[in-house]
Structure 1
Amino acid sequence: MVQSLLVTRRLLLAGGAMALLSACNPTGPVEATVRLNPSEAASVRFRAIRVDTSRIAERGLPDYAERLKPMVQQSALAAFGPRLAPQDKQAPTLVIRVDSIQLASYAGGGHSITFSDHSGGGGELDWIDGAGLIVAANGKVLADEPLFASQDPGSGGAWFLPDNEDRRTASLCDIFVQWIKRQMQL
C-alpha cells in the first residue's frame, strides 16, 4: 500500500512539473527575434514586398490563403510604398508572413471562423499573427519580428452588411502591417 502511494505521489509531481513546463510556452518553440539597429531600420529600402500565407494554405485552406494575400499586399504597399526601390538589386525584400487569423463572432462568443492552431482567447476579438522579415538579396534574414495583433470585431463597420468579414479582415491586415512597421522601427 505504501509503495502504490509513492508511485502516485511521484506521478503527481512529474505531472505537475510537466504542466508547469508546458504552460511556459503553450504554442511551441519561441522564434528568436533578429532586429536591425534603429539607424539601419530608418534608412532601409526594399527591392520588393512579398506576402507569405503558406502556413494557412498548409492547414488545408489554399483558397482562403490566396484571398488573404492581396489584402495584406495592399496594406503593405500603403505602409511601405515610399521605401520601395525595385531597381536596386542589392536591396532586401520585406516578407510579411501570416501564420493564422481568426474572426470572432460579432457578439463576442460562440461561433468564430478560425484558421489556426491556436486555442483559447474566448473568441471575443479578431486576431492575426505571423511575422515581418527583412531578407537580404543573398537570402540571409536580416530582421525577424514575430507579431500578434488583435482588434474588436466591430472595427470592420456594420455587422449586417454582406461584406462584413472582408472589411474586418482588411482592417486586421492594416493593423498587422502597421504593427510590423512600428515593431521593426521602419
Structure 2
Amino acid sequence: MTTRRNLLSLGLMGAAFALAPLSAANAQVRAIGKIRVDTSRIAQQGWGENAERIRIAMERQLAAALGPLYQRGAGTTLHVTVKGVWLTMYAGGSGGSKPKGGGGSSDNFDSDITVLGPRGEVLQTFPVLSVIDPSSGGAWYLPDVDQRRVVALIENNVAWIKRYLGA
C-alpha cells in the first residue's frame, strides 16, 4: 500500500542517490592551491580590456567564496575558462513568462571548470552556465548598469563553482 510516508522515504532516497555522484566527484578535491581564470576567449569576442577586469574580479570572488577550501600552496589548481558573457537588451524588465509574452531575455555567463592535480592531471571538470535576469544588476537607468550586471553574473557563476566543488 502506498502511503505518504512511503512516498516521502522514496523521495529522500532518490534525492540522496541523485547527489551521490556529485559527492563522489568532489571527494577528490581536498584543497585548491591556485586559482587561474582564462578570459582570452571573451577578449577575442570583443570584450577587450573588460576581459581583464572580468578575470581579476572572478579570481578575487573565487578566492573569497572558496573559504577554507582555498589554501595557497596546495597542489591543486582551479582553472576557469570563461567561454562567453552575454548581456541581453534591457529596458527595465524582462517581461512575461510566456514565449511570446515579451519575456525570456536573460544575461548569461558560460564557463568551463577544471581542477588540476599537482602533476597537471585532471581531477575534475564541469561546465557552468549562469543565466540570470538582467535586473540582477540593479537599476537599469544608472550609467554603470552593464558593469553591475557583469558583477552579478560573476557572483552567480562563482556560487555554482563553489557548490560543485563542495566548498
- Mark yes or no: TM-score above 0.5: yes
Structure 1 residue aligned with 2:121: 140
Give 1:153's aligned amino acid.
P
* Residue matched to 1:71: 57
Is the alpha carbon distance of 1:84 and 1:182 closer, same or farther for their aligned partners in structure 2, counting shifts above 3 Å? closer
RMSD: 2.4
Q: Which residue pairs with 2:147 in the alignment?
A: 166
Q: Secondary structure at the match of 2:86?
A: strand
> Structure 1 vs Structure 2: percent identity of aligned residues?
37
Structure 1: 5+ residue runs without aligned partners?
1-34, 110-121
- Please state if 1:104 is matched with 2:85: no
Counterpart of 1:132 in structure 2: which amino acid? Answer: I
What's the CA shift for 1:60? 4.7
* Corresponding residue to 1:92 among 59, 76, 79: 76
Q: Deviations over 1:122-151 (max 9, x none)?
A: 871011101121011211111111121110
| 2:48 is the counterpart of 1:62 | yes
Measure the CA separation in 1 of the matches of 2:56 and 2:79.
14
1:112-151 equivalent positions in 2, closer than 5 A? 124-151=105-132
The alignment status of 1:37 with 2:25, answered yes or no, reads: yes
Distance 1:45 1:184, change over 3 A: closer
| Residue 38 of structure 1, CA deviation | 3.8
What is the one-letter code of the residue matched to 1:168?
Answer: R
Q: Contact between 2:134 and 2:149, CA under 8 Å: does it hold in 1?
A: yes
Matched residue of 1:40: which SS? coil
Match of residue 176 from structure 1:
157
Q: How does 1:11-22 map to 2 (within 5 A)?
A: none
Q: Distance in 1 between matches of 2:153 and 2:137?
A: 9
Structure 2 unmatched ranges of 5 or more: 1-22, 95-102
Q: Distance in 1 between matches of 2:24 and 2:35?
A: 17
Larger Rg: 1
On the 8 A contact 2:28/2:123 being kept in 1, the answer is no
Query: Hey, what's the Cα distance between the residues in 2 that align with 1:127 and 1:60?
Result: 16
Q: Taking structure 2 as the reference length, what is the TM-score of the superposition?
A: 0.72
Distance 1:38 1:77, change over 3 A: closer
Asked if the contact 1:145–1:180 (Cα under 8 Å) also holds between the matched residues in 2, the reply is no
Instruction: Give the aligned length.
Output: 137
Query: What is the deviation of 1:48?
Result: 1.1
Q: Does 1:80 align with 2:62?
A: no
Q: For residues 38 and 67 of structure 1, what CA distance do their matches in structure 2 show?
A: 29
**Contact 1:131/1:180, CA 8 A, preserved across alignment:** no
